[in-house]
Structure 1
Amino acid sequence: MHFTFLGSAGALPARDRDTTSIVFVGDGDAVLIDCGGSPMQKLLRAGVTRDALRRVIITHMHTDHAYGLPSLVETLYLLGRKAPLRLACREEHEQPLRTLLGVFRQLERPGIFPIVWELVPAREGFALPALGSFAVSSSPNAHGSMPNVAVRLEAAGRPTVVYSSDTEPCDAVTALARGAHTLIHEATFSARRLERFGVHSTAAEAGRIAAQAGVARLILAHIDVAHHGELDAHRDEARAHFAGEVEVAQELVPYPL
């Protein structure tokens, strides 16, 4: 069992990093969190086959987190998938996602596999229905006016992982991460630069949140392209506030669970 970053950049991809997306691979099944470009090709590289993908979670409706969904659905259909695919999203985002898929008439196509919608309320610790290797729960985070969720994944006898998604420092994310081994936290910007935008976190803030949550490991993700040339400094910025293990996400490298 493992998880793999299919992307780790912010809204802008770069030559060596794509927009942030993570797949969790269990015993014959997988959960995908957010969906960037060329998703099926990256899933295959991560060891995920057509029918292994059981659930897709779209954390929020910003382009870099959802734009690959029609490509994924189309590819699974062309590969001959018949098994249902669960699609989890905030309640507010069901209709926008239906509209996105509707542009390509995917929901009405003859022979399309069933898509089972799982609507996530703005409630801390909300548990999705049991499915496969991973127990999944969520809490709302703080991403400006955009409804969004952080996600916690647990598997029996394995380290628990929490992904913040896009967020400012948020008590609900800290609470969701308590008792987890690994926190994947966005670190879009740096405290070294004062021109940062709001509704995101710096590497320093990610470090403080990891310390408050008491996790063992912090992985920095969703890093703005302006910082891709200074990733060591980004990591060190977080380390100044967190005594545990800190690293910058590596793409298409399996992280064992």
Structure 2
Amino acid sequence: MGRRYELSDVEWEALSRYLPSAVTGGRPRVDDRRVLNGIVWKIRAGAAWRDVPARYGSWQSIYTRFRRWALDGTFQAAAHRTELVVSGPTSPAVPVRLTSSVVVEVVRAARASLLVVSFAAYGVPEVVDELVPAADRGVRVDLVLESSADDGGTLRGSSGASAAFRKLDSQATFWRWAARTRFAAGTSRPAMHAKIVAADSATALVSSSNLTDRGLSDNLEVGVVLHEPEVVRRLVEHFSALMTGTGPLKRLR
């Protein structure tokens, strides 16, 4: 088990590919993972450079590497990365992240706004328990969820996906795709199949997984985490436009 504030194996695997190669000849470069863990420790702990523990090397070397990577674009490239996310079976051949943990991570990262979109939702109290404190700290939470067939949607049963988030009734804004704006082909009614969790127009999980217990853990699902603010901003703006007065998404409560 890694130390507090240090990168997990999955995080290191995702970030290491963006680090520049060591220059051949001369003195060997201090281990990149150790240095990066020192940088991460400093940032996550909110400490001064001089307070970085000695196990990561000298603080001067860590600061020098931090400044070099900041100036040469290394951090920018890593910040704009795309990560593979899965539920269900994993493969030792390909490093991936798990949907359940990424959902929690994205929700915790939000400082101003959260956009949550799902077709179905049930059996995920851990997600609800993350959204409540997010709303408590002032994050605007928009939940765009499919309705039941009785309410103009396509979910079977009498309850729509919003029932899973009752604890947020007074803290979040709920949206549904109004039946009158669903242009059906024959007897087939269009469904809202998008699955997204986006934080602050900066980071977004786009996945095949619904916010259900099996979707987040057991089903074979795939998705990506986008760390490209421009792309995430456009994604969020798309849904914001659908929520305008003439848009198809209508406020449920």
TM-score range, shorter chain: 0.3 to 0.5
Greater percentage in strand? 1
TM-score of the pair, normalised by structure 2: 0.32
TM-score of the pair, normalised by structure 1: 0.32
Greater percentage in helix? 2
